Amino acid sequence: MNIATICAVRTIFSVRGVREAARIEGRPPATMSAALSRFEAAVAVPLVRRDGSSLTLTLEAERRLEAINRIADASRQLMSLAGAPDDTPIAPISILGLIRFTEVARASSIRKAAKNLGVGQPQLTRQISDMERHLGFALLQRNGAGVSCSSYGHAALPIAEQIIQDWDVVSQSAAERFRHNIETWRLGTVMPLGHESSIAHMLAAVAAGWEKLRPRQHLAISNATADELLSGLKTRHFDVVLIDHLTVPPEFECQSVKTDTLWLVGAPGLDETADIASVLGSRTLVLPSLRGGIRQAADRYLREVAATWAYGPKRIVEVDSVPVIVNMVARHDYLSVLPQSAVERLPYRLSKWPLPESYRQQLTLVWRIGVLPKLLVEGIVGLMQDVAMPPPTEERQPLLILSS
């Protein structure tokens, strides 16, 4: 972020409009709009609500307005130290450049300041020179012992420190969000099929064992469909995802975690010796949407196998909620396709027909190439594969009351 952008945003906030601010600043509206977008991205919170050509400040913008005004006033003061007219455009001097100037001034040595900042000495020298060129005066003067502030540098130092302090106030939430992000690993996963499902047990094992894998970092687990997870991996919303797709795009690394047989399931009491074709032809299927791996496997089965039969399913209803699907099967006489491990732990003894071995649920851990440390991958996979699944839930029987 630089002080010219902050001053442009102050003008936009003052007149509550981009076009009017552009007229005042003598700059194209697109330039002013871009400055506002960069500023909002830098502070990581929305600052305006657009209503036609006018803008309304959010509460977050109102909270920062006083500090933004101080930065703009200090920036004008900085530009005027050498007698520049009041209408001189604010130079695009970065906040980082001001921080580095104050470090050099305190250290009285470019070499020592570069070491403290962790940057190269030539890079730091060029940055100070660029600032001096924009301002029109020298900030430092060289001497045998190192460097010291010039008369202009002495005047600029408290102004720079004030701008830095106010920018810390303005960008506080962005700093907190960045700090939280770098301290948090984000695991995305397909939706567990109930609390007794294998996915739920695996995720619980990872969450419980995470402290040993990464004691100084947090773990955030969230659910989405397989397609949404891969998209989030590309945009870096997730660091690693657990999907149920059969194939993984080549731009990712992956490791298989678990495979599970898929079953066609129906209401309790159906004839499990009946031909699967006749069963499919007599009832409606309820399945998750095409964004999920189970639906894709089910569709492949229907397309490649059922297409050879005289009749297939009556129709398909899409429901992206496994509890709803289970209730529709158990209580409303629908059919569905579910993993064996999930079906065995349901509180219903559903009728079931196993699909061929080539139609399975494949749980795969996926991450961007070169991002996850090998030991972390091995640790996550190990926790998932070491899960000891409890025995299937006993079928619930109605309570029998005997009377004398």
Identify the band that residue 296 occupies on the pLDDT scale cut at 50, 70 and 90: confident
Domain 1-170 annotated CATH 1.10.10.10: yes
Give the per-residue pLDDT at 398: 43
Cα 135 to Cα 82: distance, rounded to the nearest angstrom = 8
pLDDT at 2: 92
Q: 74-79: long-range contacts at Cβ-Cβ below 8 A with a sequence spacing of 24 or more? A: 74/159, 74/162, 74/163, 74/166, 75/3, 75/4, 75/6, 75/7, 75/163, 76/7, 77/159, 78/3, 78/135, 78/156, 78/159, 78/160, 78/163, 79/135
Question: In this model, does residue 230 exceed pLDDT 80?
Answer: yes
Is the predicted pLDDT of residue 174 greater than 60, yes or no? Answer: no
Give the pLDDT score at 391: 56
Average pLDDT of span 210-218: 85
Which CATH number among 3.90.230.10, 3.40.190.290, 3.30.70.1400, 3.30.43.10 corresponds to the domain 183-390?
3.40.190.290
Residue labelled with tokens 């060029």: 126
pLDDT computed for residue 50 by the predictor = 79
Least confident piece of the model among 42-56, 160-174, 177-191, 320-334:
177-191
By the 10 Å C-beta count (0-12 exposed, 13-18 middle, 19+ buried), 179 is classed as: exposed
Q: Is the pLDDT of residue 395 over 60?
A: no
For residues 23-34, give the mean pLDDT: 91
Provide the token pair at 282.
Answer: 């007599």
Identify the pLDDT of residue 390.
Answer: 56
Are 1-170 and 183-390 equal in CATH topology? no
H/E stretch holding 261 reads strand 252-266
Beta carbons within 10 angstroms of residue 389's beta carbon:
13
Going from N- to C-terminal start, the domains of the chain cover 1-170, 183-390
pTM reported for the whole predicted model: 0.50
- pLDDT (0 to 100) of residue 403: 38
